[in-house]
C-alpha cells in the first residue's frame, strides 16, 4: 500500500512569535545603532530559540534543534524541523513530535493555524508546526502543498480536504473517526495522487474542505450510527443508501464539488 495513516489526532504547535534568538558572531566594528530586520529561513533556522504559545495557549520555550530538506519532497522545497520544547514540570528539553511510521519525529512549518473544528485560519503572524505523524504534514507530503497551485488550481482547499480525509472527519467538525494504523488509498481530481490498481479496497468517501461530500462506507463500521447522529443534516441522503456514492466516478458526477477520494478496507460488523 502506498499510504499508511497512523495518527488519529493532529499534533500541532501554534506559534505566535514573542521573541526569537539565534547565536550570531559579532561584527569586528560595531555600526551606528539602527533598527534592522534580519530574515532567516530554511537551514539557517537551526539553533533558533523561540518563546511562543503552544496549542493550549501556554507560553513556553522552544528550540529548533535541526533542519533538513524533506527527502520525500521531489521538488526539494519542504523542510523538516526537529523542534524541542522545555517541559515546565522538570525543565527538560523534549521533542515536540512523536515518531511516525518511519521513526521520524520532525515537523513541517505551515502558515496560519487550525481551530477546534479543524478549519484553517490564515495569518501572517502565526505559523504552525505539523508533526510528520499528523494530518497537516501528511497532506503536504501527499503533494497538497497549501502555498502552491497545480494546473492553475490553488491547493489550499485540497490540503484542507485532505486533513478531513486523513482523520476521517466526515462531519467537518474536527472529530476524527479513524484509528491508529488504518490503511487508506488516496486519489484526487487533479491526479496528484492516483488510485492504486488492485488495492483490494472499496471506495470509502469523497471529500471537500468542510468534510465528506458523500460516504459509501465509513472506515470503521461501528462509527456509522455515531456519524449519522453527529451531523444528520449535512450528510442527509449522502450516506450511500441509493448507490449514488459507491464509486469515485459516481460521487464526482453527483457532487462536482468533491476534490479528493479515498478507498479503504470494508470492515463488516
How buried is residue 222: exposed, middle or buried, by Cβ count under 10 Å (0-12/13-18/19+)? Answer: exposed
The whole-number pLDDT of residue 12 equals 46
Q: How far apart are CA 5 and CA 139, in angstroms?
A: 10
Instruction: Give the helix ranges, DSSP H, for the chain.
Output: 135-141, 156-166, 224-230, 248-254
Q: What is the mean pLDDT of residues 54-67?
A: 86
Q: Give the residue among 40, 106, 121 at the shortest CA–CA distance from 73.
A: 106
Under the banding of pLDDT at 50, 70 and 90, the label for residue 58 is confident
The whole-number pLDDT of residue 240 equals 81
Task: Tell me the average pLDDT of the chain.
Answer: 85
How buried is residue 42: exposed, middle or buried, by Cβ count under 10 Å (0-12/13-18/19+)? Answer: exposed
Neighbouring C-beta atoms of residue 258, cutoff 10 Å: 22
Q: Give the residue among 22, 1, 53, 10 at the shortest CA–CA distance from 165.
A: 10
The whole-number pLDDT of residue 44 equals 81
The whole-number pLDDT of residue 10 equals 37
- Ranked by mean pLDDT, the top range of 1-10, 28-37, 121-130 is 121-130
pLDDT tens by residue, 13-40: 544 433 333 333 333 333 334 455 555 6
Under the banding of pLDDT at 50, 70 and 90, the label for residue 43 is confident
User: What separation, in Å, do the N-terminal and C-terminal C-alpha atoms of the chain show?
Assistant: 24
pLDDT tens by residue, 161-183: 999 999 999 999 999 999 988 99
Asked whether 98 and 131 are in contact (CB, 8 A), the reply is yes
Asked whether 188 and 239 are in contact (CB, 8 A), the reply is no
Asked whether 190 and 157 are in contact (CB, 8 A), the reply is no
Rounded alpha-carbon distances, angstroms, from residue 241 to 103, 175, 236, 244: 41, 23, 10, 8
The whole-number pLDDT of residue 51 equals 84
Q: How far apart are CA 60 and CA 148, in angstroms?
A: 31
pLDDT tens by residue, 71-125: 999 999 999 999 999 998 899 999 999 999 999 999 999 999 999 999 999 998 8
28 vs 190, more confident: 190
The whole-number pLDDT of residue 180 equals 86
pLDDT tens by residue, 205-262: 999 999 999 999 999 988 899 999 999 999 998 998 788 999 999 999 999 999 999 9
Q: Give the whole-number percent of the chain exceeding pLDDT 70.
A: 84
Amino acid at each position: 500500500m502506498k499510504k499508511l495513516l497512523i495518527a488519529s489526532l493532529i499534533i500541532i504547535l501554534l506559534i505566535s512569535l514573542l521573541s526569537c534568538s539565534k547565536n550570531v558572531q559579532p561584527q569586528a566594528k560595531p555600526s551606528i545603532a539602527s533598527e534592522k530586520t534580519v530574515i532567516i529561513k530554511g537551514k539557517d533556522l537551526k539553533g533558533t530559540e523561540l518563546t511562543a504559545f503552544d496549542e493550549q495557549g501556554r507560553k513556553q520555550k522552544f528550540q529548533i534543534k535541526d533542519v533538513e530538506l524533506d527527502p520525500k519532497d521531489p521538488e526539494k522545497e519542504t523542510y523538516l524541523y526537529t523542534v524541542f520544547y522545555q517541559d515546565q514540570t522538570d525543565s527538560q528539553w523534549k521533542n515536540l513530535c512523536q515518531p511516525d511510521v518511519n521513526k521520524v519525529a520532525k515537523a513541517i512549518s505551515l502558515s496560519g493555524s487550525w481551530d477546534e473544528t479543524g478549519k484553517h485560519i490564515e495569518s501572517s503572524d502565526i505559523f504552525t508546526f505539523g508533526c510528520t505523524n499528523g494530518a497537516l504534514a501528511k497532506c503536504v507530503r501527499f503533494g497538497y502543498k497549501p502555498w502552491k497551485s497545480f494546473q492553475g488550481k490553488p491547493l489550499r482547499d485540497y490540503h484542507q480536504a485532505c486533513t478531513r480525509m486523513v482523520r476521517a472527519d466526515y462531519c467537518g467538525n474536527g472529530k476524527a473517526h479513524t484509528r491508529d494504523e488504518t490503511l487508506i488509498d488516496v486519489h484526487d481530481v487533479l491526479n496528484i495522487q492516483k488510485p492504486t490498481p488492485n488495492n483490494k479496497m472499496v471506495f470509502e468517501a469523497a471529500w471537500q474542505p468542510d468534510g465528506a461530500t458523500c460516504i459509501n462506507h465509513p472506515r470503521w463500521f461501528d462509527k456509522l450510527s455515531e456519524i449519522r447522529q453527529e451531523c444528520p443534516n449535512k450528510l442527509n441522503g449522502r450516506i450511500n443508501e441509493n448507490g449514488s456514492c459507491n464509486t469515485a466516478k459516481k460521487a464526482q458526477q453527483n457532487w462536482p464539488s468533491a476534490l479528493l477520494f479515498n478507498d479503504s478496507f470494508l470492515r463488516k460488523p
